[in-house]
Amino acid sequence: EIVLTQSPATLSLSPGERATLSCRASQSISNYIAWYQQKPGQAPRLLIYDASNRATGIPARFSGSASGTDFTLTISSLEPEDFAVYYCQQRSNWLALTFGGGTKVEIK
């Protein structure tokens, strides 16, 4: 099973600040990583697929990048609606899709 480790567990920032979320894979997964946003009481929403491609309707302030087994989701300038939990997910091992443990972005 491919393990995804997200850090930090919690990120405390103010609106307008830049958020940098990390996801590290336990083995090489090419660029097969997706990012999701989940707000309390809601289903997750796809933000980024294949490391750097924004899903339909996702604002340009969300971007993704990759370096080896390290993946980053960046929110360039936090809007009030961006405070949520973010999960990464790998699709390299399609028989055992796995998610990271999540990063909560909270208002400082």
Partner 1 sequence: EVQLVESGGGLVKSGGSLRLSCAASGFTFTNAWISWVRQAPGKGLEWVGRIRSKTDGETTDCAAPVKGRFTISRDDSKSTLYLQMNSLKTEDTAVYYCTREVGYTFDYWGQGTLVTVSS
Question: According to CB under 8 A, which residues from 40 to 59 bind partner 1?
Answer: 42-46, 49-50, 55-56
Query: Is residue 72 a contact point for partner 1 (CB under 8 A)?
Result: no
Interacting stretch for partner 1, rule CB under 8 A, among 23-31, 35-43, 61-69, 73-81? 35-43
How far is C-alpha 52 from the chain's CA centre?
11
H or E segment and range at residue 78: none
Whole-angstrom Cα distance, residue 34 to residue 55? 10
Q: Is 12 helix (H, G, I), strand (E, B) or coil?
A: strand
User: Which residues in this chain contact partner 1 in the complex, by CB under 8 A?
Assistant: 32, 34, 36, 42-46, 49-50, 55-56, 87, 89, 91, 94-102
